[in-house]
Amino acid sequence: MILDNAWNSEQCWDSSRANGTNHTDIKYQGPLSHFTPASEFFHRAVLEMQHSEGLNDLGLPKWQLAMCLGVVYITLYLSLFKGVKSSGKVVWLTATMPYVVLSILLARGLLLPGATSGIAYYLQPELTRLKDTQVWVDAAVQIFYSVGAGFGVHLSYASYNTFHNNCYKDCLITTLVNCFTSFFSGFVIFTYLGFMSHKQGVPISSVATEGPGLVFQVYPEAVATLPGASLWAMLFFFMLIMLGLDSGMGGLECVITGLLDEARACGATRLRREHFTLLVVCVSFCVACINITPAFFFSLS
């Protein structure tokens, strides 16, 4: 069934309202394919990719996304302007809340039909894929990105430790927690992918995807079919906001600490952290506005 929202195209098809017909192509691949409402809302209503022909046609930032981005950066400034005195308190919420939300979503997901099939698919890897070089490359990228190795975040926060702090112990705890988080979140994702597979009558590999497509298309589409969908959607995206704020605080703290220490070493001893943090946040916001232009998503495709 074709929907009639302002952001729908003629190729939009809601399989749940089409007399049982399944159309599971959720990727933005061209005008000849059928697209789910979640896919079209993400690409055409949120990103407005139809207004850009590619990276050569950047376009203007969408004002609604710019407002949301501004709220995020205001929150980041309020969390960082006092240094670890303020961010250390905020991180108790941003770092622990995702585990609470993931646990709630997992408990709900386990009650859905097909959830056990999703978990079985998750826990039964194809060992033959170990011969594929790309698998190892993806694994390395995941570990380096999730741990934040090489970004300087750990060094920046470590600079606030006491001289005799046990860094070796901290390193082991960080890596173990990181691996546990990735493994635990996989359970949550695949319970819902198993549910979608059961609901649509297709293999799990057909509904599984990665990157923004998983977060903003597949998962919301699965949550939307649940009773009380608005509540589960709010919990899910609240968790994403907490994760984003946590990552943003780490990255900005790295930049602020490094540049501020260097500036003070060069004689700018009167430079206040509050003012310098505001400058860094404003510059970062301006750069981030590129990410909310219609053309930016083409760079991730």
203-253 confidence digits (pLDDT tens): 887 776 666 666 777 777 777 777 888 888 888 888 888 888 888 888 888
Q: Closest Cα to residue 301, out of 209, 196, 220, 236? A: 209
Q: What is the pLDDT of residues 111-167, one digit of tens each?
A: 889 899 999 988 888 888 888 898 899 888 888 888 877 777 888 888 888 888 888
pTM comes to: 0.73
Sign of dihedral through CA atoms 149, 155, 160, 162?
positive
Extents of the domains making up the chain: 47-300
Burial class for 107, CB neighbours closer than 10 Å (0-12, 13-18, 19+)? exposed
Residue with structure tokens 């988080």? 181
Task: Examine the pLDDT at 256 and tell me if it is beyond 50.
Answer: yes
Tracing tokens 């082991």 back to the chain, one arrives at 172
Tokens of 128: 């033959």
Query: Residues 59, 37: contact at Cβ < 8 Å?
Result: no
Q: What pLDDT, in 10s, does the model give residues 12-68?
A: 766 555 544 444 443 434 444 567 777 777 777 777 777 677 676 777 888 888 999
| Cβ contact 158:167 at 8 Å | yes
